[in-house]
């Protein structure tokens, strides 16, 4: 630890300066080279990874219930410290169940969808014929 004292010219106060030096020895060039070699070696090391994600959604079996599980399997290696080959497999398991017959949801009963379709067709076709003038029930041709 180094100490120095200065006198402030404006106030005449003595200012003590303390400089702490590190207790760690200085790094040598050999240490830095060894770290670089270790870093390069770790880049070319093989590895194996495994991960999994699961989620679920409650609801009527066969309609809006869902159980999902995804697993990630990964392996990687190098050839000649030049080329890396990585394989990743992600199998997914999905289960929505089977309808039990007790559900209030029904497929193919044409409830709300049929009403929506009828309303859409009436509005669409109605707007196509808006403003067209006719001369009577049969169009007012020469026979009429």
Closest CA to 4 of 14, 22, 16, 20: 16
20/48: higher pLDDT: 48
Whole-angstrom Cα distance, residue 129 to residue 78? 71
Please, what is the average pLDDT of the chain?
Answer: 76
Buried b (16+ CB within 10 A) or exposed e, 110-129: eeeeeeeeeeeeeeeeeeee
Instruction: Give me the pLDDT at residue 106, please.
Output: 63
Q: Provide the token pair at 10.
A: 């404006």
32/25: higher pLDDT: 32
Q: What average pLDDT does the segment 108-123 reach? A: 66
Whether the predicted pLDDT of 53 surpasses 70: yes
Pairing of strands 66-79, 47-57: antiparallel
Confidence of residue 107 (pLDDT cuts 50, 70, 90): low
Determine the 3-state secondary structure of 77 from DSSP. strand
Confidence of residue 71 (pLDDT cuts 50, 70, 90): very high
């Amino acid at each position: 630890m180094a100490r120095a004292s200065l006198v402030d010219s404006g106030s005449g106060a003595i200012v003590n300066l303390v400089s702490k030096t590190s207790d760690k020895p200085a790094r040598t060039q050999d240490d830095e080279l060894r770290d670089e070699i270790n870093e390069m070696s770790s880049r070319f090391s093989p590895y194996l990874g495994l991960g999994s994600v699961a989620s679920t959604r409650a609801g009527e079996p066969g309609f809006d219930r869902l159980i999902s599980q995804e697993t990630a399997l990964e392996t990687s290696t190098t050839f000649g410290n030049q080329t890396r080959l990585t394989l990743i497999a992600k199998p997914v398991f999905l289960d929505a169940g089977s309808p039990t017959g007790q559900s209030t949801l029904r497929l193919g009963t044409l409830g709300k969808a049929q009403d929506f379709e009828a309303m859409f067709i009436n509005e669409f076709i109605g707007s196509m014929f808006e403003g067209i003038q006719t001369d009577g029930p049969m169009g007012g041709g020469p026979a009429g």
